[in-house]
Amino acid sequence: MAKIISGKELSAKLKAEMAAEVATFPAKYGRVPHLVVILVGEDPGSVSYVTGKAKASAEVGIRNTTIRKPDTISEAELLEIVDQLNADPEVDGILVQLPLPKHINSDKVIAAIDKSKDVDGFHPLNVAALWQKHPCTLPCTPKGIIKMLKSAGVEIAGRNAVVIGRSNIVGLPVSKLLLDENATVTTAHSRTRNLGEVTRKAEILVVAIGRPKFVTADMVSDGAVVIDVGVNRDPETGKLCGDVDYAAIEPKASVITPVPGGVGPMTICCLMENTIECFLRRF
């Protein structure tokens, strides 16, 4: 039976600690951190993520403003909003909820955010700083994964870590953070040959693909640490599920994260932490 890392419990503990810290800010700095989230369109997934971010902000005592715009907004109008928020001294963090409608260039919008207010850690200068090991705002999901591993007492240094997925928001940065923790890292993807052979060598396996129950028990070695980043609908039950076949893998893993209640809550928790960090850097 694996040790289950509850992102829900860990994030609740960390949010309570942050709330106690934020409560001291008005006396010290005259205000609390302010996070502005821009939501374009009505995509149900995005609406739910934005609602979760507002709820977490309330729990931590962070001021949250959600700007909702229709998906007909032009790129120029969106860039104008970002410019205004960049210039607003009472805004500490700016998050543009992705994905954006096709007629808007997401890279351009993300690059327009002031680097010092980029709470997602997606700005090219933050990405460059991550890869050059300079101080930066770390992307929330990879940061949360490292916190989960450490909270469970998982030794990372010197171990074989395999990451499936090489996206800019999860796979690549989590590979880099594991490397920074001195793991020996393999990053697998859709062109990897004999994926099972690669994943069976993993002492730490991080899966960020976006395919329900893609990783089966035969792909995981006994005693592996398994971090499931995927958020999918199970085609059979319609319920949320991860990228790994949890029921089959949990008995053979040493440590595992559930979906829901695993990486997801930690991502939002790290967004709160990043907002506080951006706020504190302004004083």
Q: How far is the CB of 88 from ligand NAP (least distance, A)?
A: 28
Among 249, 244, 248, 245, CA closest to 229: 244
Q: How many residues bind ligand NAP (CB under 6 A)?
A: 24
Residue with the two structure tokens 């500490």: 92
- Those residues with Cβ within 8 angstroms of residue 27's Cβ, 6 or more apart along the chain or in another chain: none
Cβ pair 28, 56 in contact under 8 A: no
Q: Minimum Å distance from CB 191 to ligand NAP? A: 5
Q: Is 53 a catalytic residue?
A: yes
When asked if residue 171 is in the footprint of ligand NAP (CB under 6 A), the reply is yes
Out of 93, 142, 165, 173, the only residue in the binding site for ligand NAP (CB under 6 A) is: 165
Contact 46, 39 (CB under 8 A): yes
To ligand NAP, the closest distance from the beta carbon of 130 in angstroms equals 16
Query: Would you say 220 or 229 has its CB closer to ligand NAP?
Result: 229
Given a contact cutoff of 8 angstroms between Cβ atoms, the answer to whether 140 and 274 are in contact is yes
Q: How far is the CB of 160 from ligand NAP (least distance, A)?
A: 17
Q: Which of 78, 110, 112, 170 forms a contact with ligand NAP (CB under 6 A)?
A: 170
Per CB under 6 A, does 10 bind ligand NAP?
Answer: no
Q: How far is the CB of 13 from ligand NAP (least distance, A)?
A: 18
- Pick from 148, 264, 270, 276 the residue near ligand NAP by CB under 6 A: 264
Which residues in 181-240 contact ligand NAP (CB under 6 A)? 188-192, 195, 208-210, 229-232
Which residue from 36, 112, 244, 263 is in contact with ligand NAP, where contact means CB under 6 A?
263
Site for ligand NAP in 100-159 (CB under 6 A): 141
97 among known catalytic residues: yes
Q: Report the residue from 8, 166, 201, 252 that binds ligand NAP according to the rule CB under 6 A.
A: 166
Angle at 18 between CA 16 and CA 22, to 5 degrees: 120
Catalytic member of 92, 118, 120, 228: 120
Catalytic residues: 53, 97, 120
**Binding residues vs ligand NAP (CB under 6 A):** 141, 164-167, 169-171, 188-192, 195, 208-210, 229-232, 263-264, 267
